Structure 1
Amino acid sequence: MSDKTKVTHKVMITDTILRDAHQSLAATRMRWDEIEPVLSQLDEIGYYSLEAWGGATFDTCLRFLCEDPWDRLKNLKKYLKKTPIQMLLRGQNLLGYRHYADDVVEKFIEKAIENGVGVIRVFDALNDVRNLETSMKAIKKYGAGRCVCEAAISYTTSPVHTTEYFVKLAKTLEDMGADNICIKDMANLLLPFTAYEVVKEIKEELRPETKVHVHTHNTTGTGDMINLMAIQAGADIVDCALSPLGNGTSNPATEPLVATLKGTPYDTGIDINKLLPIVNHFNKVAARLEKDGFLSARVRKVDINTLLYQVPGGMLSNLISQLKAAGKEDKLMECLSEVPVVRKDCGYPPLVTPSSQIVGTQAVWNVLAGRYKTLTAQYKDLILGKYGKVPGEVSPEVLKLCTAHGEEAITCRPADLLSGELQRLTEEVKSSGYYQKEEDVLSYALFPEVATSFFKWRKARETGVDDDMAKNSDGVYPV
């Protein structure tokens, strides 16, 4: 190990207990009343950051928890005086499921930082850096001196995704303004010795002040080994989750790593005794999530299929559900064998949302109806560049099928085809009568129907009048 990669300072931990942990294990169903009681204690632990916002929490707050995600962020900031609030952002997709115009992306990031976010981890599912340009520029613009820009590499395995590929990508992201580089192993496909090699070579390429942050899960049971090897290779920060909601499809548990590193050159400086009352609290939260059917033993087990087929756990369950709906459960092994073919033909995208669902669904169609006899609209869009540039080469034969009816592939950044949306969205929310603040427009931009339903609920709670029950003709509310 070279002097440059030799760790002589403590390793820092980002705890995901407030976001990725319950998103991965329990459908993102942790409520504010389960978060608030321990925030002051969490703030005293000495974490690098607490991942507490973004990802699926935004959608879930609005859709299922009757909670304004912006209010959650503001309330988090009231308690977290020392520890930065970290969020996960999907680049040009923000927290939604499509590309948004640049003006929406910039305003969203401005408001996220204004309301308390201190670290923004931003990634693109295809590792197309063009899809990160606007968000990274906005983070640097509005977050100067108060928000870290952490650019993430979506890790995957393929002939295209070599160590050299990841090193080059890391350097590109640093040159774009990233303060930290995150290796985001969302599917737990990164193996421990590979983690050492990738971290070591990235660390040697970057400037000394650029931190390397490793994010993995424990789906395949390798998460702790990945973190340990990454730390020895020079990783500055690793993601963990407190044990009540750690391991399995979540992130490796915090407490074992803290204990392992204690007294070594990598000592985190965290007092494990201070974690105990917090762990006890989240044990109760986990019990509630299990009782309500959101947390099952299945997601806590090692998933050998991910290791064997390089298919993430969530993608596997989606394949099974599609086949079950078609009464073709016996075709699972054929579908698993078809996934690598479909993925290769569309240029080896990382299997993360949305590409994992797109590739999986096309594989099912190929098995049930014949290879590429039916092309899903999403698979065609992926082939045609509408999600961004895929890492590898697209199959010429499949591209020909996708353009058979006059469709054309695009080579520009997908968002370049979008006109500004912010003014129109603002007018729509204001005309609805539900507008209270700028953030409402951003909620509506991401989830129009869900946000509108939430706004109606909010107004009914505040006024005691349900708009859906009021008579439109005379405005009289029926008793």
Structure 2
Amino acid sequence: MNSTVNEHTANEQAVSEAQHTRVGWVLRDMMQSTGVWTFDAGELRELVVQACACGFSSLELGGGQSFQIALQRGYNPYRILRQAKAVIEEQGSAMPLQILLRGANQFGFHHFSPALQQRNIDLLRDCAGDTDKSRALIVRNFDALNDAENLRFSVEYMAASDAEAKKLNDVLLGSGKSAAHKRLHLQVALSYVRPQSNATDASYSTRYYVNYARRLLEIARDAGGSVDSICIKDMSSQLTPARAKDLVPALQALGVPVVLHCHSTDEARATAVQAVAVECGIAGIEVAIDPLSGGASHNDILSIASLRGVQRFDAEQLGELRVLCRRIFSEGASSRKDFAIQLGSLKQLIEAGIPGGAIPFVAHDLSTYVCGMLGVDLEAAIGLFQQELQGLQVQLGGVPLVTPTADIISKQAIKSLCNSARDGQYRTMDPRFCALVLGHYGWLINHASGERITPAKALVDDVKQYCAAIALDEDGLRTHAGRVYPEPELLVQHPAQGEALQGNTELSEAEEYFADLFQRYPQSCENFSTEPECVLMHVMRPAGKSDRLITQSILRPTEARLRDLLDATLHLLPQRTIPESRELHGDEETDLALLRALGDYDGIVTCIKDLVLTGENGSLKVRLEEMMNSIVTPLCEANPDMQAHRFYVERRFVALFAAAVFWDLQRICRRTGADSRRDIREITATRLERIISTTLRRRQRKGLGRAQDFLG
């Protein structure tokens, strides 16, 4: 009996090794699809450590909407990658990180110049690349239109630079040295859409995807490198088991490992598709973890962990990961955005092709705008939205709905519904939708037949007319409600080959701005990011967000600490009141003596730096008193008049120091757009400004206190 069991076990292991399908954890996408996020460094560290312990083939942690959400919440997405990579190395794990990139759009929502694309890819390589290819960052690179030209530069650059890194490392290894050049794993993703018909040359047929994938492989090969893997990106659970059984082997025949990314918006279908893919010997599949699995997210790992041919996991380690995820995410999961939608409505959005990661955002916009303007409930709004979306898709020619096209077309469908409740003169169009129709996002190609699909003439004419009605501003741009619309003409040249919508001009302006910011506030800047990272985060910041967004993230911690310091300083005064003058001459003499002892304004700044940038907030008052005594005591010992009026001298010191802190706070607030007078009594602010004007600035003008140093 035992020999039979052992023989059966051995056979199972042999089969498992022959059909080894690896499992990746899409931490980023499960957060995006549910609207439940964490960017806390401590929590992310715990998650990465446990992912290493479980042995996932990859951990998706960045890119997609996470870049934008992180920036909006004051986090540096590049630093998140760096810290995660450091944790993996500490654990001695070979697990690679993974990010989602949008080709020419990178982490933004429109075409960027090759110069910016190259810089971003170089930064990603530096953040999480590796000299060992198997440990290198997996860059999942896709285009919303499945337009190979939109991916050309990024694929060429990654393929060529990786081939060069391999060549240089081989030379080093051949001479007995260690490899020194980091590499990336280039994965091209195919945005999956249900075929428009059963014809072999139909858009989104198996032939379509094989031809598209082959074109991307050729681009990499012509650049002197190669694509490392192909991903079937089924963002809205449209792939069926039958089509998967046809598509997976067809792509595998290209000789490159194939990975399946499949949302669970239709959980039963997604599970069946994953099972078929594993039977076909697919290289990898991806999962989520409860409580952020299912719904618009991905199937939980338990749904596939027992499938024959899938890598085996340690049940205890998986159990610890599930406990950890519940602890971190349970509170947010109780109000998951995708679960707020009724099942029937959710299925309507799925059938409309809305990707899992966009469903929470679409539902929010429908609730916020359509329900209110049309006086309907969410279920009715979704029904109307589905009809409007289908109408737009017919006119567009059937665009894949994935970022940014899903957001663009969904937003326009919602605007169109709202337009039905407005007078004609108040009709609105999304500028990005206008740009999409006029060709600024690339071309829609049927790769099965080679035919270019163009929008309906009536739609093109409507968009042209709308854009032409927007007057040019003083900069020669068609700006309306703070947003720039395209010129009312179809773009003849492919956007990837022409001028980028945002390119080198904004890049050079950002470089100049952040070079100045890093010079003035080096420590604050370096606490948040590096200068090259800040430049790219600024240029690729979320659409419609203030150009101060990155500056605010950099300086707000310092701003908050300055406010705390000012509060602690004012608390040294009776009733936090700036003392009235004893007499003008006496004030000047006292201020002069104090400034000399402090080293003028530049000396005060040094003291402020020490107080703001080191130590805990709770120690500020004690440290201030110690500093005051170290300055005031020697002055009083050397001057009997000061000794007799020590109480006044101390109050004058505090007022002078508070004014200097307030002056630095004003500088910071001019950058962040905050109100420097917030939480300060008006009379106090006025007296502080008077000291700044009559003492600090006057000495600056005389060349006695240059004030060239700034809080850093």
TM range (shorter): 0.7 to 0.9
C-alpha spacing 1:7/1:381, structure 2 compared with 1 (3 Å) = farther
Distance in 1 separating the partners of 2:280 and 2:339? 33
Superposition pairs of residues 421-460 of structure 1, within 5 angstroms: 421=505, 422-432=507-517, 433=520, 436=526, 437=530, 438-447=532-541, 448-460=547-559
- 2:410 counterpart (356, 360, 370): 360
Q: Is the 8 A contact 1:311 1:351 kept in 2?
A: yes
Quote the residue 2:188 is aligned against: 151
Superposition pairs of residues 286-325 of structure 1, within 5 angstroms: 286-290=329-333, 293=335, 297-298=339-340, 303-312=346-355, 313-314=359-360, 316-317=362-363, 318-325=365-372
Distance in 2 separating the partners of 1:306 and 1:26? 17
**Shift, 1:300, TM fit:** 10
Distance in 2 separating the partners of 1:74 and 1:336? 41
**Shift, 1:377, TM fit:** 2.8
Q: Secondary structure at the match of 1:100?
A: coil
Q: Is the 8 A contact 1:248 1:299 kept in 2?
A: no
Quote the residue 1:10 is aligned against: 20
C-alpha spacing 1:73/1:357, structure 2 compared with 1 (3 Å) = closer
Quote the residue 2:237 is aligned against: 188
Q: Is the 8 A contact 1:218 1:249 kept in 2?
A: yes
Quote the residue 2:640 is aligned against: none
C-alpha spacing 1:111/1:357, structure 2 compared with 1 (3 Å) = closer
- Matching of residue 68 in structure 1 with residue 76 in structure 2: yes
More helix per residue: 1 or 2?
2
Deviations 1:409-442 (A, max 9, x none): 1133324213524333211211234554221211
Q: Secondary structure at the match of 2:140?
A: strand
In structure 1, give the amino acid aligned to 2:437: I
C-alpha spacing 1:60/1:306, structure 2 compared with 1 (3 Å) = closer
- Matching of residue 267 in structure 1 with residue 310 in structure 2: yes
Deviations 1:179-235 (A, max 9, x none): 11111111222222222222122222x12xx11111011112222222111222332
- Matching of residue 412 in structure 1 with residue 493 in structure 2: yes
C-alpha spacing 1:361/1:338, structure 2 compared with 1 (3 Å) = same
C-alpha spacing 1:320/1:197, structure 2 compared with 1 (3 Å) = farther
Q: Is the 8 A contact 1:12 1:236 kept in 2?
A: yes
Distance in 1 separating the partners of 2:53 and 2:537? 32
Quote the residue 1:200 is aligned against: 249
Distance in 2 separating the partners of 1:367 and 1:460? 43
In structure 2, give the amino acid aligned to 1:326: M
Q: Secondary structure at the match of 1:202?
A: helix
- Matching of residue 121 in structure 1 with residue 134 in structure 2: no
Q: Secondary structure at the match of 2:23?
A: strand
Distance in 1 separating the partners of 2:373 and 2:336? 25
Distance in 1 separating the partners of 2:278 and 2:121? 31
Quote the residue 1:173 is aligned against: 216
Q: Is the 8 A contact 1:23 1:57 kept in 2?
A: yes
Structure of greater Rg? 2
**Shift, 1:12, TM fit:** 0.6
Deviates more, 1:177-186 or 1:19-28: 19-28
Quote the residue 1:215 is aligned against: 261
**Shift, 1:158, TM fit:** 4.9
C-alpha spacing 1:424/1:199, structure 2 compared with 1 (3 Å) = same
C-alpha spacing 1:398/1:296, structure 2 compared with 1 (3 Å) = closer
C-alpha spacing 1:203/1:459, structure 2 compared with 1 (3 Å) = same
Deviates more, 1:297-306 or 1:217-226: 297-306
Q: TM-score, normalising length from structure 2?
A: 0.60
Deviations 1:376-433 (A, max 9, x none): 4332211110111124331122223333447211133324213524333211211234
- Matching of residue 384 in structure 1 with residue 431 in structure 2: no
Distance in 1 separating the partners of 2:381 and 2:53? 52
C-alpha spacing 1:305/1:142, structure 2 compared with 1 (3 Å) = same
Distance in 1 separating the partners of 2:339 and 2:384? 27
C-alpha spacing 1:319/1:155, structure 2 compared with 1 (3 Å) = farther
Q: Is the 8 A contact 1:290 1:296 kept in 2?
A: no
- Matching of residue 44 in structure 1 with residue 53 in structure 2: yes
Q: Is the 8 A contact 2:19 2:281 kept in 1?
A: no
Q: Secondary structure at the match of 2:516?
A: helix
In structure 2, give the amino acid aligned to 1:95: F
Deviates more, 1:120-129 or 1:38-47: 38-47
Distance in 1 separating the partners of 2:413 and 2:138? 37
Quote the residue 2:279 is aligned against: 232
Q: Is the 8 A contact 1:22 1:30 kept in 2?
A: no
* Bigger RCO of structures 1 and 2 (CA < 8 A, at least 6 apart): 1
Quote the residue 1:398 is aligned against: 459
Q: Secondary structure at the match of 2:374?
A: coil
Distance in 2 separating the partners of 1:198 and 1:238? 15
C-alpha spacing 1:296/1:153, structure 2 compared with 1 (3 Å) = closer
- 1:161 counterpart (199, 204, 227): 204
Q: Secondary structure at the match of 1:182?
A: strand
Deviates more, 1:327-336 or 1:467-476: 467-476
Q: TM-score, normalising length from structure 1?
A: 0.87
Deviates more, 1:125-134 or 1:452-461: 452-461
Unaligned runs of 5+ in 1: 1-5
Q: Secondary structure at the match of 1:44?
A: helix
Quote the residue 1:97 is aligned against: 109
**Shift, 1:295, TM fit:** 6.2
C-alpha spacing 1:148/1:341, structure 2 compared with 1 (3 Å) = same
Quote the residue 2:99 is aligned against: 87
C-alpha spacing 1:356/1:67, structure 2 compared with 1 (3 Å) = closer
Deviations 1:246-282 (A, max 9, x none): 2111111113311x22xx3x13132233211111111
Q: Is the 8 A contact 1:215 1:239 kept in 2?
A: yes
Deviates more, 1:137-146 or 1:158-167: 137-146
- Matching of residue 246 in structure 1 with residue 289 in structure 2: no
Q: Is the 8 A contact 1:154 1:184 kept in 2?
A: yes
RMSD: 3.1
Q: Secondary structure at the match of 1:454?
A: helix
Q: Is the 8 A contact 1:23 1:29 kept in 2?
A: no
- Matching of residue 279 in structure 1 with residue 373 in structure 2: no
**Shift, 1:452, TM fit:** 1.8
C-alpha spacing 1:68/1:337, structure 2 compared with 1 (3 Å) = closer
Q: Is the 8 A contact 1:249 1:300 kept in 2?
A: no
**Shift, 1:236, TM fit:** 0.8
Q: Secondary structure at the match of 2:555?
A: helix
Q: Is the 8 A contact 2:371 2:381 kept in 1?
A: no
Q: Is the 8 A contact 2:104 2:111 kept in 1?
A: yes
Aligned length: 463
C-alpha spacing 1:340/1:286, structure 2 compared with 1 (3 Å) = same
Q: Is the 8 A contact 2:64 2:101 kept in 1?
A: yes
**Shift, 1:164, TM fit:** 1.4
**Shift, 1:41, TM fit:** 3.1
Unaligned runs of 5+ in 2: 1-15, 130-136, 167-182, 197-202, 221-226, 446-452, 469-486, 542-546, 562-608, 613-663, 670-675, 678-688, 698-706
In structure 2, give the amino acid aligned to 1:79: V
Superposition pairs of residues 132-151 of structure 1, within 5 angstroms: 132-143=151-162, 144-145=165-166, 146-151=183-188
In structure 2, give the amino acid aligned to 1:298: A
Quote the residue 1:29 is aligned against: 38
Distance in 2 separating the partners of 1:455 and 1:252? 38
In structure 2, give the amino acid aligned to 1:442: L
Distance in 1 separating the partners of 2:302 and 2:193? 27
Quote the residue 1:333 is aligned against: 383
